[in-house]
Structure 1
């Protein structure tokens, strides 16, 4: 059995593989330093390292935000409890709550129950030994939620039910990406001891958003990032969007 962190990495790697049309064919094997090795038909080996985008300068939550997050945590925990009462299926679930429509205390339980029903219906016909993903927008979700992501991989033996952007919202997404690349570039010499032919870096983020209101995808794609990896990708999990940075 793989450790919990590696189980989640396997799920995210297969999710990225499905979303990125340019992903090369080959045998993908979990590894360490880098996280995955893809053996290509040419017999070359591609190493892929995963990391999560960390909002380094995220502002500290005020009292109101702490209260909102506490409510959201209770909603998620209740929905998970209700779902797992009748299902042994392990899921990776991300909840993107609205910043404009807050959920009052009296709606916590009804919202949890509605979310449980949505998730149950979404996975009802799915085979537990297969990879699958489902996503929902605000139109079909309880008021107060903007999006819901459900992903499953048979390697996943523990559940991950989380609030999106639970690390905080970035003050400068470009600077955070630069820092993520810099930290992994520093470790690339260690990865190169494996003598692989190519190296990719995959940066995951729950939902690409920042405190400033400019068009983040355009700003990122118009920015010139540098790296010693052959390719660097930013993967928006909620939107299933892949941005090639290098």
Structure 2
């Protein structure tokens, strides 16, 4: 299979996992069958014959914090550690998982501790997924004493449609300098394509913006700031799904 095609397949598998994550965390998600589609990404078919389209996009930090040489070295070390943890885990398991690692910037993992961190983290993940139901969506957030020093949080998720494991460093696209502007940009880009989605003549269209962890350098009360902002869109509803907090943040509700 060509590399590009394989990457597209993995992307769709992750989208299926993410829309199920959203459904689990959002109590007002409509009851119905979620069907993978194109333009929009998913259609929810409800018993009353209504159809809801859901489009997914990832929050891209267009205004990313500039990385120093020291930060780049640390990023390379962390990504190698994540890769090694995945390899170690997969030597004893064929579980297909989506795993996100949020490293601490206060407690840096030294090269001397790399082996111990790797071993403890893999054992912890194995214990966390032991006995899970392979036929349904599963997710767990690990934090605090569950983790070796140097890691703040780890998100583990699984869905039966996920055929390839994806293990990543959290916020691997970068950390935003202006989260609100980046959210506006994400909405604007998808609003431009809404007329394409509307060709399916669905009853509603929702936009789901996913992000690993809403984090910014200068905004201490970032979640409050986002909630207090006025966002505009032609989608009926717009949400942010914060993966590491397992939290849905409604941004826009245009239901009449």
The equivalent of 2:71 in structure 1 is: 65
Q: Secondary structure at the match of 2:63?
A: coil
The equivalent of 1:186 in structure 2 is: 192
Cα deviation for residue 41 of structure 1 reads: 1.9
Q: Do 1:182 and 1:227's aligned partners in 2 also have CA atoms closer than 8 Å? A: yes
Q: Secondary structure at the match of 1:245?
A: strand
* CA distance in 2 between partners of 1:106 and 1:55 (Å): 33
The equivalent of 1:227 in structure 2 is: 233
Cα deviation for residue 126 of structure 1 reads: 1.2
Cα deviation for residue 149 of structure 1 reads: 0.4
Cα deviation for residue 130 of structure 1 reads: 2.4
* CA distance in 1 between partners of 2:149 and 2:41 (Å): 38
Q: Secondary structure at the match of 1:119?
A: helix
* CA distance in 2 between partners of 1:12 and 1:108 (Å): 30
Gaps of 5+ in 1: none
1:106 to 112, 130, 141: 112
The equivalent of 1:30 in structure 2 is: 36
* CA distance in 1 between partners of 2:134 and 2:196 (Å): 37
Deviates more, 1:207-216 or 1:226-235: 207-216
Cα deviation for residue 104 of structure 1 reads: 0.6
**Is 1:89 aligned with 2:89?**
no
* CA distance in 2 between partners of 1:235 and 1:30 (Å): 19
Cα deviation for residue 129 of structure 1 reads: 2.3
The equivalent of 1:52 in structure 2 is: 58
Question: Aligned-residue CA RMSD in angstroms?
Answer: 1.2
The equivalent of 1:197 in structure 2 is: 203
**Is 1:214 aligned with 2:220?**
yes
The equivalent of 1:7 in structure 2 is: 13
Paired residues in the alignment total 246
For residues 176-234 of structure 1, give each alpha carbon's deviation from its aligned partner in whole angstroms, at most 9, with x where no partner exists.
00000000000000100111110000000000101213201100000010000000000
Q: Secondary structure at the match of 2:30?
A: coil
Q: Secondary structure at the match of 1:6?
A: helix
For residues 87-144 of structure 1, give each alpha carbon's deviation from its aligned partner in whole angstroms, at most 9, with x where no partner exists.
1111000000011111111111211111100000011111322221111112220001
* CA distance in 2 between partners of 1:40 and 1:203 (Å): 23
1:150-165 equivalence runs, <5 A: 150-165=156-171
* CA distance in 1 between partners of 2:66 and 2:167 (Å): 23
Q: Secondary structure at the match of 1:82?
A: helix
Normalised TM-score (structure 1)? 0.98
Runs of 4+ aligned residues of structure 1 deviating over 6 Å after TM superposition are: none
Cα deviation for residue 71 of structure 1 reads: 1.4
Gaps of 5+ in 2: 1-5
Q: Do 1:78 and 1:112's aligned partners in 2 also have CA atoms closer than 8 Å? A: yes
Q: Do 1:75 and 1:109's aligned partners in 2 also have CA atoms closer than 8 Å? A: no
The equivalent of 2:3 in structure 1 is: none
**Is 1:148 aligned with 2:151?**
no
